[in-house]
Amino acid sequence: MLNDAFNKYDPSQVSLYVYDVWKTYNGVKALNGISLYVKRGEILGLIGPNGSGKTTTIKIILGLIKKDKGVVNVLGYDIDKEPFKYKQFVGYVPEAALIPEYLTAYEFLYYVGRIKNVPGDVLKDKIDSFISLFGLMDKKKDLIISLSKGMKQKLIFLSSIIYEPKLLLLDEPFIGLDPEGQYEIKSILKELSESGCSILLSTHLLDFAERFCDRVAIINKGKNIATGDLEYLKKRASLGEDTTLEQIFLTLTKEQSLVSKDNRVNEEGRNLFKR
C-alpha cells in the first residue's frame, strides 16, 4: 500500500513524503526504515508506544536532527537539497516547548509572525482575532511568565498557525489544555484541513485519533507497521466490526514485537555458527 503511493508520488497531491528513513543514536535504532505520507488537506494521526520514533520522525522532517538515510520531501522540496525554503510553509507545535517568558502574549505572536514575513498590518488583525477566539484578550499585554500552562500551550499553538502554514506538525498538542481549549484547537484544525492544510498529529489519545483523524499511522520500534482509516486497520489486524483503535493498536504492536523477538532469536542462532 505504501510502496504504491510512493511510486506514484505527486507533490500536488501529497504534502509530506517520508520514505525508508533511518536514524541511530549511539548504536540504538530510533527509526528503522520508516515510511509515511500525508495528502493535501489530510489529518494523519501518528500513534505509537513511548520511544517508538514519533518525535524523532517529526524532528527529522523539520530538519532539527539529521537522518542517517532515506528520503523526506515536504511540499515538493527535498529537505536535503533545499533545507531552508520549505520551512516557511511549515508550522510546528513541539511536545515540550520553551517560549520567551519575558515577552507579552501579543509581542510573542507578533515576533513569530514577522519572522515568517506576515505583513505588519495584517498580522495585528490576525493576532487580535486569534487571541479573542481563545479568550485571551484580557491577557494580551501580560508577560508570558504570568500565564497558566494551558494559556501558554494555546499561545504555542497560535504561533504555529499565525502565518497560515501548508503543513502543520503537532507533537502532543493538547498537553495542559482543559476540555474547552482542546475543543477550540480541534475546531481550528478542522478548518485548516478543509482549507487545504495538511496535518501530521502525534498523540497518545487513541479515542481522539479514532474520531478525528482521516487516517492513522501506527508506529512501533521505528517502523510504520500499519496506516489507513479505521476500516482498513480493522482488516489489517483481523478484528471485528466493533473493534476500537485501542484494540487495533495493542494487537498490531504486540504482533510486531513478537516478530522482532523471533528475528532476534533467529539472528542469534545464526551467529552461533559463525563463532
Instruction: Produce one character per residue of 205-223: b if its CB has 16 or more CB atoms within 10 Å, e if not.
Output: ebebbbebbebbbbbbbbb
How many structural domains comprise the chain? 1
* pLDDT on residue 6: 54
pTM exceeds 0.75, yes or no: yes
* pLDDT on residue 262: 44
- Edge-to-edge strand ranges of the sheet holding 223-228: 90-93, 167-171, 198-202, 43-47, 215-220, 223-228
Residue 213 · residue 11 · CB < 8 Å:
no
pLDDT at 260 over 80: no
Q: Residue 212 sits in a domain of what CATH number?
A: 3.40.50.300
Tell me which residue range forms the domain holding 160: 2-272
Grid cell of 71 as nine digits: 528520503
3-state class (DSSP) for residue 201:
strand
Residue 165 · residue 90 · CB < 8 Å:
yes
Question: Minimal CA–CA distance to 169: which of 256, 55, 76?
Answer: 55
pLDDT at 266 over 70: no
What are 181-237's pLDDT values in tens digits?
999 999 999 999 999 999 999 999 999 999 999 999 999 999 999 999 999 999 999
Residue 220 · residue 49 · CB < 8 Å:
yes
Characterise 259 by phi-psi region: left (phi > 0), alpha (psi -120 to 50), beta (else). alpha
DSSP calls for 90-104: EEEE-SS----TTSB
* pLDDT on residue 258: 55
Cα 271 from chain centroid (whole Å): 39
Residue 172 · residue 202 · CB < 8 Å:
yes
Overall average pLDDT of the 249-260 stretch: 76
pLDDT at 1 over 60: no
Which residues, other chains included, contact 93 with Cβ-Cβ below 8 Å and sequence gap of 6+? 156, 157, 160, 168, 169, 170, 171, 173
Distance CA 154, CA 184 (A): 9
What are 15-72's pLDDT values in tens digits?
999 999 999 998 899 999 999 999 999 999 999 999 999 999 999 999 999 999 999 9
What are 3-17's pLDDT values in tens digits?
454 555 677 789 999
pLDDT confidence bin for 158, thresholds 50/70/90: very high
What are 64-119's pLDDT values in tens digits?
999 999 999 999 999 999 999 999 999 999 998 889 999 999 999 999 999 998 98
- Edge-to-edge strand ranges of the sheet holding 77-78: 28-39, 14-25, 69-74, 77-78
Distance CA 255, CA 130 (A): 44
